[in-house]
Amino acid sequence: MQFINNYRGIAILLIVLIHAIGTINNDDSAILHSLGLLLDNSTILFVVVAGYLFSSLSTNFNYLQYLKHKFKIIIIPYFFFSLPAIFIYMSGLKSTHFWIDMDWINSLSFVSQYLYFMVSGAHLVTLWFIPMIIPLYLFSPAMLYAKNKKILGIFFLVSLIPALWFGRPEFSVNNAIWTVYFLPTYLLGMLLWQQPRIYEKLAKYSGLILFSYIVVYLWLSWDSAFSTSVDLLWKMALSVILIAFSKRHLAKKNKCLNMFARLSFYLYFVHGYFIAAFRILYTQYFSAEMTGLFAASASFVLTLLFTLASFVMIKLILHEKSKIFIGL
């Protein structure tokens, strides 16, 4: 299972990287354009590993204990990490939003505003993930039923139909659409655990397959990016290839990847704040001086460093009580 942990570390780093790239002017950099194409929608990689781990840990499954555990490590931190972002909007410190009608939001009561943000995850660019994945936790018995009855593959194929039909909404308060889109990726993770030969057969040549994937993907999408429906299939294929690659080349414990894997949900929760801060600093002070690969690298490294530093500070201040607020 160590290779899956390493894969999870890679997945969260790729997510932070694509968000960091989005903060800067790529200055027509071919490398950044390539990374933007390859890593867009890379949350799929993270959801796949979530399904894999759920399936692997589902022996002697207790639904109530499972929900209680998720409440402690996901829901409570979501409430905690949402407070600063929601305060910024509700206090008027930020009066614009890239897709919400703020005049409409301000017409609501404080309670309605708060509930709207929490249900949609719209208060921070990365937090839509939590309202999206909660239904997957709630419907876990149905997925385990499909797994135990050996019909998980059928369930996966059926789930692809609405996912491909609707595609990934660019922005939507209807989290059901997000969940529908990501459901097959979660089921794919479960299926890969149940049928490891799917990726094990690729492991020996995974390096060559990964290189070929990158070349073909960029060749086909360079001038016009894939639709989110088509990209869903591509990114699921990339998930399988990266798991096979990890199985072949990253089977042993890697301290760096292991750390990022262990902190993956914390990184997901928090890095959006630093991404937003760097975006503001960049657009107001550095956009003329810092562009391209250097600016993207700086944004990525600084986001990681500040995110990790914030974790250390929380642990130093709260000690064991930090588990109450951040689940770690």
Residue 175 has pLDDT above 80, yes or no: no
What is the DSSP code (8-state) at residue 227? P
pLDDT of residue 281: 80
Mean pLDDT (whole number) for 22-30: 79
pLDDT of residue 327: 80
* Residue pLDDT, tens place only, 312-323: 999 999 888 888
At residue 207, the pLDDT reads: 96
Helix segments in 72-139, DSSP class H? 76-90, 102-106, 110-120, 129-138
Q: How confident is the model at residue 59 (pLDDT cuts 50, 70, 90)?
A: confident
Residue partners of 251: CB distance under 8 A and separation at least 6: 2, 3
Share of the chain above pLDDT 90, in %: 67
Decide if 247 contacts 199 (C-beta within 8 A). Answer: yes
In degrees to the nearest 10, what's the CA dihedral of 199, 32, 133, 100? Answer: -160
Q: Is the pLDDT of residue 98 over 80?
A: no
Instruction: Write the pLDDT tens digit of every residue in 196-252.
Output: 999 999 999 999 999 999 999 999 999 998 999 999 999 999 999 999 999 999 999
For 274, which DSSP code?
H
Query: Quick one: pLDDT band at residue 288, thresholds 50, 70, 90?
Result: low
Given a cut of 70, whether residue 262 has pLDDT beyond it is yes
Amino acid present at 51: G
Q: Is the distance from CB of 157 to CB of 21 less than 8 angstroms?
A: no
**At 76, is the pLDDT very low, low, confident or very high (cuts 50, 70, 90)?**
very high
* Over residues 36-46, mean pLDDT: 94
Q: Give the mean model confidence (pLDDT) for residues 278-284.
A: 79
Q: How confident is the model at residue 280 (pLDDT cuts 50, 70, 90)?
A: confident
Single-letter residue type at 80: F
The span from the CA of 23 to the CA of 278, in Å, is 7
- 49-58, 90-99, 179-188: least confidently modelled range: 90-99
Query: What pLDDT, on the 0 to 100 scale, is given for residue 317?
Result: 92
**Tally of CB atoms within 10 A around 287:** 13
The more confidently predicted of residues 178 and 1 is: 178
Instruction: Centre a 10 Å sphere on the Cβ of residue 41 and count the other Cβ atoms it contains.
Output: 20
Q: Does the pLDDT value for residue 286 go beyond 80?
A: no
Question: How far apart are the C-alpha atoms of 89 and 85, rounded to whole Å?
Answer: 7
The Cβ of residue 175 has, within 10 Å, a number of other Cβ atoms equal to 19
Render pLDDT for 131-166 as a digit per residue (tens, 0 to 9). 999 999 999 999 999 999 999 999 999 999 999 999
For residue 304, the tally of other CB atoms under 10 A from its CB is: 18
Which carries the bigger pLDDT value, residue 101 or residue 18? 18
Mean pLDDT of all residues in 29-49: 93
Q: Specify the pTM.
A: 0.93
Whether the predicted pLDDT of 172 surpasses 80: no
